[in-house]
Amino acid sequence: MGRLRVKRIGVMGGTFDPIHYGHLVTAEEARQQFALDLVIFMPSGHPPHKEDRGNLDPESRYLMTVIATASNPSFQVSRMEINRPGPSYTIDTVRELHGIYGKNTAIFFITGADAVLEILTWKEPENVLSECTLIAATRPGYNLSRLEELLPEVGKEERGDVPKVLVMEIPALAISSTDIRRRVSEGRPIRYLVPEGVREFIEKNGFYR
């Protein structure tokens, strides 16, 4: 009997407040570069590492993520972290996904390089690294020396040997949710920074004003 193909699932976590083209470009690049079968967008419920700075409610952030990803059949949106009571930790999400898709599924957690640098403050960091691979998305020219000190196994995927942290450069990461919220509050345009449906959803609901 032939060996079953191991599924490769990308998980794109974030507050998505709001989701923007930087997130979508990052997810699609990771899908292509690391041959992922699908990318699951995981809007956070109560992120333990972010203080509440007047973030939109989880339901609105979830709806914006659904609108933004609807046209890509390789993208899915999960309510897993929104529905989970209390703070959401990466390790809990990874274990729940292994429970759904099976232990043979390779999980790639797509996050920013700055978030990877905080890995030692995460819940059970050694288990996060043993149960999934981190894809660190960086802007071109980002200084990786600190990341390499923290995790010597940073590198490229070669010879079937998957390092625990992969680095991926994304020019569109210059777009930020913080800047988008600021632009809306100042009455400045956000067209071409977010998908058109997301822009209309923000406008219609008067978010960030």
Instruction: Report the alpha-carbon distance of residue 12 to residue 47 in Å, rounded.
Output: 14
Residue 209 lies in a domain: no
With residue 77 as reference, give the H or E element that holds it: strand 75-77
Report the CATH number that the domain containing residue 49 is assigned in CATH: 3.40.50.620
Distance CA 184, CA 34 (A): 35
Per the structure, the complete domain to which residue 168 belongs is given by 8-176
Q: Rounded CA gap, 57 and 198, in Å?
A: 15
- Residue 29 within any structural domain of the chain: yes
Looking at the whole model, is its pTM more than 0.75?
yes
Count of domains forming the chain: 1
Residue 204 forms part of a structural domain:
no
Instruction: State how far the alpha carbon of 108 is from the alpha carbons of 68, 162, 187, in Å.
Output: 21, 11, 37
Structural domain contains residue 98: yes
Q: Stretch 4-18: mean pLDDT, rounded? A: 88
Q: Identify the pLDDT of residue 159.
A: 42
Confidence of residue 9 (pLDDT cuts 50, 70, 90): very high
Query: What's the mean per-residue pLDDT of the chain?
Result: 86
Residue 199 lies inside a defined structural domain of this protein: no
Q: Report yes or no on 142 lying in a domain.
A: yes
Q: What's the mean pLDDT in 88-115?
A: 91
Task: Give domain status of residue 60, yes or no.
Answer: yes
> Is residue 17 assigned to a domain?
yes
| Single-letter residue type at 127 | N
pLDDT at 48: 58
**Helix locations, the chain, DSSP H:** 21-33, 58-69, 80-83, 90-101, 113-117, 125-131, 145-150, 177-185, 196-205
Is the predicted pLDDT of residue 4 greater than 60, yes or no?
no
pLDDT tens-digit series, residues 51-93: 555 679 999 999 999 999 999 999 999 999 999 988 878 888 9
DSSP, res 55: P
